[in-house]
Amino acid sequence: MGFKYYLTTPIYYVNDEPHLGHAYTTVAADALARYMRLRGGDVLFLTGTDEHGQKVERAARERGEHPKQLADRMVDRFQALWRRLQISNDDFIRTTEERHRQAATLLFQTIQQHGDIYKGEYEGWYCTPCESFIPEGQMEEERTCPDCGRATERLKEESYFFAMSRYQGALLQHLEENPAFIQPESRRNEIVSFVQRGLRDLSISRTSFSWGIPIPGDSRHVMYVWVDALTNYLTAAGYGSDPERFRHYWPADVHLIGKDILRFHAVYWPTLLMAAHLPLPRQVFAHGWWTVEGKKMSKSVRNVVEPNRLLDEFGVDAFRYFLLREVPFGLDGDFSRSALISRINGDLANDLGNLFSRVLTMIERYLGGVLSRPRSGSGPLSDRARAMVGEVRELMECLSFHRALGRIWDFIADMNRFVDEKAPWLLARERDKREELETVLYDLAEGLRLTSLHLFPFMPETARKMWKQLGISSRWEDQVGEASWQWGQLSDGVRVAKAEALFPRLQKEKEKRIATARAEAAPPPAPVLPEPAPPSPRAGSHTLVSLEEFCRLDLRVAHIMAAYPIPGSKKLIRLEVDLGGETRTLVAGIGQTHQPERLQGRKVVIVANLAPAKLMGIESQGMILAASGDGGQPVLIVPETDVPPGAKVR
């Protein structure tokens, strides 16, 4: 086994409804875990539920249930969502488990033995939803909680205290010596100034309720939920139960959390560990907060984004991709359906999906679906691919998911350009270009293999679909290790098999509404041309143009090299045409009357100097001419006898 990598999400309050925020932290951790596994890491990826505390106790009482019963019922919703989101956690911890009680008890006793726990009395304002005492100075007006805005209550009780103030200097020193300990940088600075303002001792037990881990030797007290909850990271690593496992996995490499719970992880947690003489985690990374269409998610505004509904509609991979691509990891972001749909249509259906389907179609059409490994060296794509592998690695190591995805998409753009430059449809026409054609298509397939490997952490289903179509094992375990990240792994003679499109295009809400309204009003005649067709001259309504004006149109004979359907559109076809040495891409609205395979090799007339227009995300660099048939169907205009491609039409 390679390097060990222990990473955690927070454990989620078991009686909350899982929402976008929970999904975000967990998907991010999952992408990281999958990436580290592919790199050969011995990964321990932990998530779980936080099940103790007054909130759960009250909710259970209101329903006449035992709190454990409530937790058993509620935990399923998290576990079911994680299964749908394809979360690959290695362990799921529930704080009501016996192994956790043991670990939390041991931590308390250890700190007590070191003399850092004492008994006293605590009086203060407590926020029950956040399970947190709010210092006077941080209280909002009306004594509401600065974090959640809800009412706080006055509590006075005997309490055990953790002498956190003793660790102020040690924590500051640690923060200074380990700049990567709290990330991003801005969060680190916040914590440094918080600690510099002075640390107070922390009340770590409660007597006002009983649903928690009893304080050893004094069972009137239960452990403060945050101390209980934080300890989960030790429990799962084997603290108090499996010393060998503990030595191997602890300290954690990354605690991934949201910025709202940074203080607990960046101040309470390291000082508790220091007091127990345990090593500190290498990093606490706090991501930003999601708002919805500009507003804070909240039940009262009824704008809570439920991941299950988005998964029903858009599928797991698009949702995972969107979360990690849309917003720089660490900053706040805003969720909107239209942004999600744009990402699906642009990045996924168009850039990635079209490329993949184009390349596979060409391999099937020109090489009978069988790849040959080039005999002579590797082409320019291999250098680009190598650069991507290295850069994505660095970006993943610093949890810069959006940039890692951006870098993968740069490579996808390189491949799209490479297809256009190499024009395999031209190579396919010349016998002596066979070897070059084989090399170009091998390089593209290999580039797509490396792309799929990089996509696996983010979109596991898509990567598996790509692996299957590329004729390689669809088990990630077979792709582990350094060799997989090297160029040239597709073997000679591998057979590709094109299957369903990776991402069908979605209609944007607005387009959908317009299309539906139009269809309901009157079915429009099928538009033949991608650009609005000029009004057809009817008797008596001729607009006269001068010869000079007519000559401004550059009409030419074009040879259709290749034609492909455009996923998600019945009407549009993508054409690669030869204009006599120059290749153009056209998008033509003839899909309902012409089959792409029948168009290949034909000569047609096009307007070659029409301003380019984007259709279904593809730039059309010209317009094919067709007459309107009896039923309004497009009838292509073709030269009477053979003329070379590029010949001018006047």
- Residues forming contacts to ligand MSP in the complex (CB under 6 A) are 10-13, 16, 21-22, 24-25, 50, 229-230, 257-258, 260-261, 289-290, 297
Phi, psi (deg, nearest 5) at residue 112:
-60, -45
Identify which of 461, 458, 447 has the alpha carbon closest to the alpha carbon of residue 414. 447
Assign 3-class secondary structure to 95-121. Answer: CCCHHHHHHHHHHHHHHHHCCCEEEEE
Q: Which of the 8 DSSP states describes residue 265?
A: I
3-state secondary structure of 527: coil
Identify which of 407, 398, 549, 408 has the alpha carbon closest to the alpha carbon of residue 466. 408
- Please say which residue, 29 or 572, places its beta carbon nearer to ligand MSP: 29
Is residue 172 within 8 Å of residue 192, measured between CB atoms?
yes
Q: How far is the CB of 198 from ligand MSP (least distance, A)?
A: 24
Q: How far is the CB of 65 from ligand MSP (least distance, A)?
A: 20
Is residue 260 within 8 Å of residue 226, measured between CB atoms?
no
Residue nearest to ligand MSP (CB): 258
Q: How far is the CB of 189 from ligand MSP (least distance, A)?
A: 19
At 123, list the tokens: 């009086």
Q: How far is the CB of 385 from ligand MSP (least distance, A)?
A: 34
Contacts of 647 (CB under 8 A, 6+ apart): 556, 557, 580, 639
- Please say which residue, 130 or 352, places its beta carbon nearer to ligand MSP: 130
Is residue 283 within 8 Å of residue 183, measured between CB atoms?
yes
Q: How far is the CB of 251 from ligand MSP (least distance, A)?
A: 15
Q: How far is the CB of 94 from ligand MSP (least distance, A)?
A: 12
- Please say which residue, 181 or 442, places its beta carbon nearer to ligand MSP: 181
Helix pair 355-367, 460-469: axis angle to 10 deg: 10
Q: How far is the CB of 71 from ligand MSP (least distance, A)?
A: 13
Q: How far is the CB of 289 from ligand MSP (least distance, A)?
A: 4
At 255, list the tokens: 């605690």
Phi, psi (deg, nearest 5) at residue 540:
85, -10
- Please say which residue, 55 or 574, places its beta carbon nearer to ligand MSP: 55
Is residue 211 within 8 Å of residue 53, measured between CB atoms?
yes
Residue type, 23: A
Q: How far is the CB of 494 from ligand MSP (least distance, A)?
A: 42
Q: How far is the CB of 529 from ligand MSP (least distance, A)?
A: 46
- Please say which residue, 333 or 645, places its beta carbon nearer to ligand MSP: 333
Q: To which H or E segment does residue 199 belong? A: none
Is residue 215 within 8 Å of residue 205, measured between CB atoms?
yes
Question: What is the C-alpha to C-alpha distance for residues 599 and 36, in angstroms, rounded to an integer?
Answer: 47
Residue type, 180: A
Burial class (CB in 10 A: 0-12, 13-18, 19+), 42: middle
Pairing of strands 42-50, 117-127: unpaired
Q: How far is the CB of 258 from ligand MSP (least distance, A)?
A: 1
Give 158's Cβ-side CA count (13 Å radius).
Answer: 9
Phi, psi (deg, nearest 5) at residue 210:
-125, -5
- Please say which residue, 272 or 624, places its beta carbon nearer to ligand MSP: 272
